[in-house]
Every structure is written in C-alpha cells, then in structure tokens.
Structure 1
C-alpha cells in the first residue's frame, strides 16, 4: 500500500500542434491535468451532435434481454438514423405495453358480463343499459317491482346486474354505484388485445435487431466524450502568441516514457519537483488482492498526498467488521452461492471484478464468524456434534463479547495512531499519536486486567500517555512567557481529545450489538415458524416455510445494510479520525474512454 510519488510536468509546444499533443496525451493516459486558464463551465460531456438521446438509445439497446451479435466493423453506419429508430422503438414499445395492460385489465372487468353488443335505442324502446356489480349481501336491498333488471352472471360473492332505463337511475335506487362497461364488446377487446400482443412481439424483434449496433454506438459515444474532454483541456492550457503550455501531474517512474513521448511529438517536456506550496492529487497503488480497499477509502475521503495509504488496513478491517455484524454461516454460504451464480455480471469492468473479490471475502468472513458463534440460519448445532465443537464464541455472553469488541476497537485506533506517527515529520505529529496509543492500551489493560498485575500497570500507561500528549501538544517554540503560556494552552487543548478516544473505542460495541440483534432475529423467525407449523395443521407447514423465507430474507437485507454502513463507518469515521491528517483530491488521469458492453 503506497501513495505513488508524482512530478509536475509542463509540455511546451507550438500552438498549431496543440490538438495533436492533446490527443497523444489522452492516448498516453497518465496525466492529471492542471488548469492554467479558466475553461467554460457549460461544456457538455457529450457534444450536441449526439446529445442525451444517443446515451438513452445505447442504454435501451444494452438493457435488451436478447442480444444480437454486435457489428464491430460496419460498412456503413448512420448514427442519427440508428438513434432515431431506437428511440422510436422505445416509445412505441412502451406505449404498446401500456395499451396491452389496459386491454387485459378491461377484459377481466368485462368477462363476467359476457358478450354484449349495444343495439340502437329504437330497438329497445329508447332504453339504455346500466350495469351494477352488487355484493351478495346487498342483493336483497334491490326492489324489482319498479325496475327492469336482469342478473347476467352470479358467483359466490357478487351478482352482475343489467338495468334497463331511458335515463340514469337515481343514485339511491341501487345499493351500489353503477360501473362503466364501455362501448367495446368482449370480443372486440380480445381482438384488440391479440393485435397489441402481435405488435409487441414485432417491436421486441425490432429492438433485438437494433442491438447489433450497440458496440458501434458505444464507440461513437466514447469518441465524442474523448473529443469533449480534449476541447475542455484545450481551453485550460496557457497560450501565449504561438506557444502553448500543458501542465499536469504524472508518476515519477514514468519520466523517461514522458520524455520519449515529447521527443516523438517534437515538443519540450519540463519536470519540476513538488514544493511545499503544491497540492498534488493522490494516486493510490495496492496489490491486486487489496485493490478493493482503494474504492472503500475514496468512497469517503482521499488521503492527502503527503499522508499515507490506509487501503489495505481498511479493506481487511471492513471484511472482519462485516462478518461480525452478519455472523451467520448459513447466510454467508447462501450469499456465496448467489455471487457464484451471478459472477459473470461482475466481469464487464475492473471495478466489477474488485467488487466481486471483496464481496466473496465478505461472505467468507460472515460464514467464518457464523461457524465461530454456532449460528446456521439462526439454528444452533446440537451438543456433541462436529459443528458444535467449532463454536468458540457465545454472542449471549455479554461480558466476553464486550471485551472482544473493545479490544478490537483499541487495536484499530492504536494502529491508526501508530501509522500516523510513522508518517508525520514534526515532534508533535509523531509523539501525540504515540501518547494516545498509550492511553488506549492503558485503559484496555485496566478494564481487562481487573484483579491482576495489568490493572495497576494500566493507569500508569494512561497517565504517561496523557503527559506525552500534553507535552507535545504543539510545536510552538517557547521563546517568551507568552509563547510558554500558549504552549501550555495547546497542551490542554490536545488533552481534550480524551473524550473522543473514549467514545470512539465504545463505538466498536456496535459490532457485538448488531451481531447479537441479527442472531436473535434469526432465532425469533425460526421460533415463530415452528409455532405456526404446530398451531395450523396441514397448511401450517406452507405458512411456516413462507415465514422462514420472508423472515430470513428481511434479516439478510438488514444485515447487508448494517454490515456495509457500520463496518465502513468504523473505518472512515473512527479510524480516519485518528489515522489521517489531510484530505486530498483523487488522481484523475486524462485518458480515452474504454468501450465496454
């Protein structure tokens, strides 16, 4: 885990060659550009020639369930025509789906009435047909003596009644309001539904046919975004008469390659070392196994360039914390199976592959802690069994679990302080974290070592740590009485953080609390399911299975949310609070967009 050393690069060339240099720099893909002039803020990521319509068209084609083989080298490709046809297909297909759903609903409403065709008014004595759906319990409230009514259909719960009358009957003449039958007969509705279904199939086939252009369309969009990025970069260079200067940050180990690039382009490359006034971006670099930690770190805060890279520690601790919160072997193995079945969904990008690796470790951690606590979908293995022998932790043993979680919290915070002490350069920056480490370890020794030798050593460590923190409260030079007073004030100000370290260590209690809550909820779900099975003979087993499935699904969902939120929060709040000093900006390379589908 490291923060990659950078240098400042200035590329100087002839103004007429700027477009060529920008394109070469974008293809090289290693520069983080430094604006030397104010660019127009309303530059769009996609130029007006393509616009949002092309993006929407591509998304519509990529989301199609059935894909055709993509055309990669087209003989002829009309971008506007393909985008227009795709968007028309999307609009027509959505309208057809809505129409078909409305017709199907209308058919369900009309079917109980049977086949009706409305005659001319003169043929039925100028009478009109009025339709009512009357519940069985209200049928006796109808007085047939003054009405011409006909029950056309009747089931166990309701009657479908047609009333003949020249005018709409009064509201109080029937026990329920009338229903609107509509002008279309049942046969006409079915005919239109069939036509819409055929039209829907044709539109789906048209969409499938258009998917062959998805790769070419994505290439055009990527090229358009690249062109837009170059246009923006061109506005941010320093131009003077016939010369331009493009400034950027780049990796120190690529200096020779950049010189070769400049030689090939016929431009000058000037390299400057980073000064104290510079604020370079932060480029994190980790091993293949720990790359996911970079995403976790940058999700909340990118460390400053002069700070240190916490990616590996955050990655490992997040996996451990997540497993402690979910803490069920059944859940972990089930989600591992789900990840295996959907593994191809993650293969489309490097980020997806990182997330798959991290998710796999999260589920392994969940399963491991589930085995250690003896929880398998909330079921505890029977005494004497092999799985029972693997149980080494009891979540209901509050004292033991408190000691474990507090120890984890202290170790985590001490590690953050020690890493900060190693990378700081001032006496205050180095010794204050060491002092707080003594305070945390001393407090833990006092708590864990009650009745032992450590109980007396712990308070001494706490006092020694506080003295170190107070003495190295700042780097202010004591060259006068006033400076000495300010140095003492700085020391007391630094000591005020004792409240923070106490509360931050206690925050790790959430690992135990959330793990116990998840296990207790799983047991409750199992107990409720068993009671339903016993109290409702026959169908009770189906209800019990349904309760089990829904209950454990909810518990898994809550566990995933809690594991992600609180597992990450302990890293980015408590850990970063003690381990990192500055917040930086991420390194964003000026490079061409890759075409992925």
Structure 2
C-alpha cells in the first residue's frame, strides 16, 4: 500500500502546436492537468447539442428491452438524425403510455354505466343526466321524493344512480358528490384505447430499430467528450505570444516516457520536485488483490498526498466487520453461489472485477463467522456433531462478545494511531498518537484484566498516555509566560479528545449488536415457520415455506445493508478520525474515454 510519488511536469511548445500536443497528451493518458488560467465557468463537460442530448438518446436506446444487433461500422450513421429520432421516440412513447393510462382509467370509470350517448337537450325537455356512485351503506340515505332517478347498475359494494334534472342538484340532494362521466361513449373510448395500444407497439418497434446504432452512438459520444475535454484543457494553459505552457502532475517513474513523448512532439520539458507549497493530487497504488480498498477509501475521503494509504487496512477490516455483522454460514454460502452464477456480469470492467473479488471475500468472511457462531440459516448444529465442534463463539454470551468487540475496536484505533505516528514528522504529530495508543490499551487492560497484574497496569498506562498527550499537545515554542500558558492550553485541548476515544471504542459494539440481531431474527423466522406448519395441517407447509423464503430474504437484505453501512462507517468515521490528518484530491488523469454500453 502506497501513495505514488509525483513530479510536476511543464511542457513548453509553440502555440500553433497546442492542439496536437493536447491530443497526444490525452492519448498518453497519465497526466493530471494543473489549470494555469481559469476556464469559462459556463463551459460544459460535453458539447451543447451533442452531449446531453446524445447521452439521453444513448441511455434510451441501451435501456430498451428489445435490442437489435449493433452496427459497428459508421456507414449510414447520421448523429443528429439518430439523436433526434431517439428523443422524439422517447417523447412520443411516454405520451402514448400516459394516454393509454388515462383511457384505461376512463374506461373503468364509464364501464359500470354501460353503453350510452347523450341525447339532444331539446329531445328530453332540457333535462340533463347527473351521475352518482353511492356506496351500499349510504343507499338508504337516498330520498327519491321529488326526483327522477334510476339505478342503472349495482354490485356488491355500490350502486350507480342516474338523476334527471334540468339544473345541477344541490349538494345535499344525494349522500355523495356527483361523478363526472364525460361525454364520450364507452365504445368510442375502447376504440381510442385500441388505436393507442397499436401506436405504442409501433413506437416500441421504432425504438428497437434505432438500437442498432447504440454502439456507433457511444463511440461518437466518447469522441465528443474527448474533444470537449481538450477544449477545456486548451483554455487552462498559460499562453504568451507564440508560446504555451501545459503543466501537470505525473508519476516519477514515468519521467522517461514523458521525455520520449515530448521529444516526439517537439516540445520542451521541465520537471519540478514537489515543494512544501504544493498540494499534489493523491494517486493510490496497491496490489491487484487489494485494489478494491482504494474504492472503499475514496468513497468517503481521499488521503492527502503527504499522508499514508489506508487501503489495505480498510479493505481487510471491512471484510472482517461485514462477516461479523452477517454472521451466518448459510447466507454466506448462498450468496457465494449467486456470485458464481452471475460472475460474468462483473467481468465487463475493472471496477466490476474488483467488486467481484471483494464480494467473494465478504461472503467467505460471512461463512467463516457463521461457522464460528454455529448459525446456518438461523439453525444451530447438533451438539457433538462436526459442525457443533467448530462453534467457538456464542452470540448470546454478552460478556464474552463485548470483550471481543471492544478488543477489536481498540486494536483498530491503536493501529490507526500507530500508522499516523509513523508518517508524521513533528514531535507533536508522532507522540500524541503514541499517547492515545497507551490510553486505549490501558483502558482495555483495565477492563479485561480485572483482579490481575495485567489489570493493575492498565491505569498506569492510561495516566502515562494522558501525560504524553498533554505534554505534546502542540509544537508551540515556549519562550515567554504567554507562550507557556498557550502551550498548557494546547495540552488541555488535546486531552479533551479522551471523550472521543472512549465513544469511538464503544462504537465497535455495534458489531456484536447487529450480529446478534441478525441471528435472532433468523431464529424467529424459523420458529414462526414451524408454528405455522403445525397450526395449519396440509397447506401450512406451503405457508411455512413462503414465510421461510420471504423472511430469510428480508434478513439477508437487512444484513447486506447493515454490513456495508456499519462496516464502512467504522472505517471512515472512527478509523479515519484517528489515522488520517489531511484530505486530498484524487489523481484524475487527462485521458480519452472508453466506449461503453
């Protein structure tokens, strides 16, 4: 695990060659550009007319349920026509779906009244029809005296009543407000629905036909974004007379390659070491097996360039914490099987492959802790069996589990402080973390070793640690009474973090609490299923199986959420709080986009 050393690169060339240099630099794809002038704020990341619209059109075609074989050659491809056609198809299809939904609702509303057409008012003495849907419970409240009304339809729950009156009846004439049926006959509505359904099918066919251009459209979209990125980079170079300067950060081990690139382009190069005033971006580099740790770290915070890379520790601890929270061998093996069945879906990108490897280890951890706690879909193995002998942890043994989780918390926070002390250069930066290590270890020794020599040494370690933290509260020089008083204040302010370390260690008890909750819920699901099976002979078995499947599916879902949220939280809140000092910016190479579908 390491943060890659960087060097500042200056490329100096003739202004007429700037576009060529930018294109070659983008093709090289390993430089993090440094803006030397401010680009226009309104400059979009993708070109207007060919960016957002093309992105929306591509997404519409890729998400189509029915796909045609993609064209890989641009013969006959017209970008503007394809984008316009896809967006028009999307708009028309959405409008058609809305129209179908409205017609379906109107048909369901009109159907109980039957097929009818409104007559001319003169033919019926200027009487109008007023429609009411009266619930069965309110039918007795309808007073027919002085009214011309008819029940035209009746079902189990309501009656459909038509009232004849030249003017709208008063609000209290009927127990319910009147219903707006509309003027269109049921047969006409059904005909409109049929036409809309046919139109929808035709629009879906149009969309399917357009999907053949999705690959070529993606290629053009990537090219448009690359062009936009070069345009932005062109605005951020320093130009003077006929010369331009392009500045960037690069890996120190790529200096020779950059010199070779510059020689081929005919531009001058100048390399500067990182100075104290510089704030370089952070480029993390780990072995292939641990690369996913970088994603976990950068998900919340990128460490500063002068800090250290916590990727490996975060990766390993996240796997352990996740397994402790899920803690069921049955769940772990089931999810491992699903990962194996869907493994090809992860193979399409480097990120997908990293996530697949990490997911496998998460499920292995879940299985291992499930075996250690003796939980297989909430069922404990029989005493004396092979699996029973492998059970070494008892989740319901509160005292033991508290000691285990608090020990894990102390080790995690001590490790964070040790790594910080190792990479700091000032006395305060080095000795304060050592002092907190003594405090944490002393507190743990006091808790675990009550009544032993080990426990007696705990308070001594705590006091020694607090004295170390207070004495090295800052690096302020004491050369007067005022500075001495401020140094004492710095020490007292540093000691205030004792509340933080106490609360942060206690936070690790969530590992035990969540694991116990998941195991208890699994046992409850099994118990409820068994009771249903015995309570309802015959069909009870089907109900019990349904409860088992749905219940365990919900428990697995909750476990996945809790494992990810709390497993990450203990790393990015508690661990980062003690291990990292600065927040940096990620290294973003100036490179061409890949064509993805």
TM-score (norm 2): 0.92
Distance 1:129 1:379, change over 3 A: farther
Cα contact 2:51–2:221 (8 A) shared by 1: no
Instruction: State the partner residue of 2:506.
Output: 506
Alpha-carbon distance, 1:137 to partner: 3.4
Alpha-carbon distance, 1:210 to partner: 0.8
Q: Determine the C-alpha separation between the residues in 1 that align with 2:71 and 2:102.
A: 37
Cα contact 1:348–1:596 (8 A) shared by 2: no
Q: Determine the C-alpha separation between the residues in 2 that align with 1:15 and 1:424.
A: 44
Alpha-carbon distance, 1:388 to partner: 3.5
Instruction: State the partner residue of 1:113.
Output: 113
Instruction: State the partner residue of 1:211.
Output: 211
Instruction: State the partner residue of 2:269.
Output: 269
Q: Determine the C-alpha separation between the residues in 2 that align with 1:541 and 1:146.
A: 61
Distance 1:130 1:380, change over 3 A: farther
Instruction: State the partner residue of 1:520.
Output: 520
CA deviation vs aligned residue, 1:415-459 (integer Å, no higher than 9, x gap): 112212222233333333233222222221221122333112323
Distance 1:534 1:153, change over 3 A: farther
Asked if residue 576 in structure 1 is aligned to residue 584 in structure 2, the reply is no
CA deviation vs aligned residue, 1:43-84 (integer Å, no higher than 9, x gap): 111122414222211111111112222222211322111111
- 1:57-68 aligned at under 5 Å gives the runs 57-68=57-68
Alpha-carbon distance, 1:559 to partner: 3.0
Q: Determine the C-alpha separation between the residues in 1 that align with 2:386 and 2:115.
A: 69
Asked if residue 354 in structure 1 is aligned to residue 340 in structure 2, the reply is no
Distance 1:182 1:443, change over 3 A: same
Asked if residue 237 in structure 1 is aligned to residue 233 in structure 2, the reply is no
Alpha-carbon distance, 1:199 to partner: 1.0
Matched length: 597
Q: Determine the C-alpha separation between the residues in 1 that align with 2:428 and 2:143.
A: 96
Question: Match of 1:239, SS?
Answer: strand
- Point out the more displaced range, 190-199 or 277-286: 190-199
Q: Determine the C-alpha separation between the residues in 2 that align with 1:419 and 1:167.
A: 86
Distance 1:369 1:126, change over 3 A: same
Task: Provide structure 1 residue ranges, at least 5 long, that are not aligned to the other structure.
Answer: none
Asked if residue 398 in structure 1 is aligned to residue 398 in structure 2, the reply is yes
CA deviation vs aligned residue, 1:171-199 (integer Å, no higher than 9, x gap): 44433333233222232222222221111
Cα contact 2:33–2:249 (8 A) shared by 1: yes
- Point out the more displaced range, 194-203 or 554-563: 554-563
Distance 1:150 1:485, change over 3 A: closer
Instruction: State the partner residue of 1:279.
Output: 279
Distance 1:343 1:197, change over 3 A: farther
- 1:12-27 aligned at under 5 Å gives the runs 12-27=12-27
Question: Match of 1:375, SS?
Answer: coil
- 1:156-305 aligned at under 5 Å gives the runs 156-305=156-305
CA deviation vs aligned residue, 1:513-558 (integer Å, no higher than 9, x gap): 2222333334444445555666677776666666555554444443
Question: Match of 1:44, SS?
Answer: coil
Q: Determine the C-alpha separation between the residues in 2 that align with 1:181 and 1:497.
A: 70
Q: Determine the C-alpha separation between the residues in 2 that align with 1:579 and 1:110.
A: 69
Distance 1:504 1:138, change over 3 A: closer
Instruction: State the partner residue of 1:46.
Output: 46
Cα contact 2:8–2:271 (8 A) shared by 1: yes
Alpha-carbon distance, 1:295 to partner: 1.2
Q: Determine the C-alpha separation between the residues in 1 that align with 2:166 and 2:38.
A: 77
Cα contact 1:371–1:387 (8 A) shared by 2: yes
Over the aligned positions, Cα root-mean-square deviation in angstroms equals 2.7
Question: Match of 2:207, SS?
Answer: helix
Q: Determine the C-alpha separation between the residues in 2 that align with 1:592 and 1:10.
A: 21
Question: Match of 2:239, SS?
Answer: strand
- 1:190-589 aligned at under 5 Å gives the runs 190-476=190-476, 487=487, 489-528=489-528, 548=548, 551-589=551-589
Question: Match of 2:596, SS?
Answer: coil
Alpha-carbon distance, 1:265 to partner: 0.2
TM-score (norm 1): 0.92
